[in-house]
Amino acid sequence: MDPLYQEDILNVFQRTKIEEENSYIYLTFKSLEWNEQLFEIEEEQISLVLTKNAIITFQEKIGDNFDVLRSRLSTSTSTIRGKGLDYLFYRILDVTVDSYFDILEKLGDFIEDMESAMSSTSNKNMLQKIQASKAAINLMRRNIYPMRDLLNKLVTTDHELLDESSKRYFKDVLDHSIQILENIETYRDITVGLKDLYFNTVSHEMNLVMKTRTIISTLFIPLTFIVGVYGMNFRVMPELEWPYGYYLVWAFMLSIAIGLIIGFRRKGWF
């Protein structure tokens, strides 16, 4: 292999891509896995080299989604063993894209749970969950778009290692990737809507607090004015010498407060 491709295999931060040489096809892509505890997607780089007589895979970690392929390869009557290497090449990509569907389903359930919780509460953790779902969606978009381009190139290539009859299989995987992209864009719009709904809910709750404080302040403004008037140190204030002046002022202040409360209720403020 070209030393540049060997370097790409060792560097696990490569973007999904495909390179065609005379004697082999090299491609690299990301295998994704949903982490239930952290509410995020973990990615692993996988590199494939298709030659005339073998397929070589390079992976970062132990464990993958290809156990189903190993199981079928160990069965003498399986379809994989009866076809060429280009079919196994297709099946590896097919299993990878199908795993994207599984993650998309879990991400959809996560977003639905947030929608249900949003209607009843606007707790502080909700914004973190929305940001987590947004990060997961962006990560999938960064991987599925180049994967679509990779599959499209496999469909249109005339490389001798890929039989013309096998291109319809790659076309099927390409259709799946396009379907995933459509679902991702839908979830992206929902997440943006949830974020707007969260801020609207927080703003509404703040408005309720401010309205309550405004009502209380409005009740006490005229009462404070009356108390302030009778708190002035003038010698001549007729009501101060009247035996029922204290009770009259209290009755007047209570009537003002009750009148304001009735007015607020008629306006539907509380």
Q: Which of 48, 19, 16, 18 is nearest to 32 (CA)?
A: 16
Distances (CA, A) of 160 to 20, 50, 79, 163, 256: 10, 11, 22, 7, 93
165 pLDDT band (50/70/90 cuts)?
confident
Q: Where are the alpha helices (DSSP H) in the chain?
A: 3-10, 67-73, 79-82, 85-118, 124-156, 167-230, 238-241, 245-266
> Strands across the sheet with 40-50, in order?
17-20, 25-35, 40-50, 55-59
Query: pLDDT for 222-250, tens place per residue?
Result: 989 988 888 887 777 887 778 888 888 88
Q: In this structure, is the dihedral angle defined by the CA atoms of residues 184, 186, 187 and 192, taken in order, positive or negative?
A: positive
For residue 58, the model assigns a pLDDT of 93
- Domain 207-266 annotated CATH 1.20.58.340: yes
For residue 93, the model assigns a pLDDT of 94
pTM of the model: 0.74
User: What CATH architecture applies to the domain 3-205?
Assistant: Up-down Bundle (1.20)
Q: Tokens 């249900």, residue? A: 116
Mean pLDDT of the chain: 88
For residue 236, the model assigns a pLDDT of 79
For residue 121, the model assigns a pLDDT of 59
Distances (CA, A) of 26 to 29, 147, 243: 10, 14, 103
Mean pLDDT over 178-203 rounds to 89
pLDDT at 160 over 80: yes
Mean pLDDT over 81-93 rounds to 91
Start-end of CATH 1.20.58.340 domains in the chain? 3-205, 207-266
Which DSSP category does 111 fall into?
H
For residue 120, the model assigns a pLDDT of 62
For residue 123, the model assigns a pLDDT of 66
pLDDT at 119 over 80: no
